[in-house]
């Protein structure tokens, strides 16, 4: 496995700089939490990584090489915020997951792999025949995670994947993320505005304000003894999380 490196990544929309020379590293087998208030540029970073928005400057590298933008093999996969819009309502759960396969499989092998992935995210493999409309938000987000894992990625980018879920469902999804990270050795960029969530899942954390990284380091250090005033302000807004 290789580190995912963002080197001086900049994204501009017209004259507006949304992401300003951001440098980050997601170490192999680790979770990096990217936190900040809504509108600070976190989701744009995620979309820039997977090629959904063009870079104005800088580079996104995996193992020192630019990420491939074509072909079925996508070593970085993304899970989106809204589980209700990220799945095609006309496709069954199994079809949605199979879309992510990096190689063509026989029908039997395809069904077997879909069942394995559903079991991995703690869903009944029989759900493969269901349409997304028959699933809850938490179940849909589990399907989205399974689809991301279908391509056997080196890194998963999770963009606010619990923010649209009820609190009790959030906890179950976060536990699943921790379990997958531990058992699969998954590398992940976990994006959230919620510092309590990031503290729970991330080994390291980077704090973003107005398109720039203002602080980064091990989670225990940044979220316990923050150096930046903005980080301290974010922590003060989380009950029981102050330094």
Q: Is the pLDDT of residue 70 over 60?
A: yes
40-63 pLDDT per residue, tens: 999 999 999 999 999 999 999 999
144 within a domain of the structure (yes/no): yes
- Domain holding 129, by residue range, is 88-152
pLDDT of residue 30: 95
Per DSSP, which regions of the chain are E strands? 4-13, 16-26, 31-35, 57-62, 65-66, 76-79, 155-159, 187-192, 204-209, 212-218
80 within a domain of the structure (yes/no): no
Rounded distance between C-alpha atoms, residue 186 and residue 32, angstroms: 11
**What average pLDDT does range 123-132 have in this prediction?**
95
Domain count, the chain: 1
Rounded distance between C-alpha atoms, residue 143 and residue 139, angstroms: 6
Structure tokens at 35: 């936190």
Report CA torsion sign: 119, 120, 122, 128.
negative
pTM over 0.95: no
211 within a domain of the structure (yes/no): no
Q: Is the pLDDT of residue 184 over 70?
A: yes
pLDDT: which is higher, 184 or 190? 190
Q: What is the rounded (10 degree) CA torsion for 2, 40, 200, 150?
A: -50
147 within a domain of the structure (yes/no): yes
121 within a domain of the structure (yes/no): yes
72 within a domain of the structure (yes/no): no
Q: Give the 3-state secondary structure of residue 185.
A: coil
């Amino acid at each position: 496995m290789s580190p995912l490196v963002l080197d001086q990544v900049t994204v501009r929309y017209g004259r507006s700089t949304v992401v300003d020379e951001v440098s980050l590293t997601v170490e192999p087998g680790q979770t990096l939490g990217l936190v900040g208030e809504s509108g600070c540029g976190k989701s744009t970073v995620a979309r820039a990584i997977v090629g959904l928005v063009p870079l104005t400057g800088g580079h996104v590298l995996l193992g020192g090489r630019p990420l491939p933008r074509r072909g079925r093999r996508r070593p970085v996969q993304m899970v989106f915020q809204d589980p209700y819009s990220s799945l095609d309502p006309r496709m069954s759960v199994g079809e949605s997951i199979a879309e992510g396969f990096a190689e063509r499989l026989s029908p039997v092998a395809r069904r077997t792999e879909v069942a394995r992935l559903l079991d991995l995210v703690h869903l009944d493999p029989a759900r493969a025949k269901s349409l997304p409309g028959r699933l809850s938000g938490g179940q849909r987000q589990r399907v989205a995670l399974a689809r991301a894992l279908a391509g056997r990625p080196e890194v998963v980018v999770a963009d606010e994947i619990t923010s649209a879920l009820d609190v009790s469902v959030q906890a179950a999804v976060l536990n699943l993320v921790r379990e997958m990270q531990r058992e699969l050795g998954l590398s992940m960029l976990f994006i959230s505005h919620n510092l309590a969530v990031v503290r729970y899942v991330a080994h390291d954390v980077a704090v973003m304000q107005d398109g720039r990284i203002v602080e980064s380091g091990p989670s225990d250090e940044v979220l316990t003894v923050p150096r930046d005033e903005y980080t301290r302000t974010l922590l003060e807004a989380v009950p029981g999380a102050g330094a």
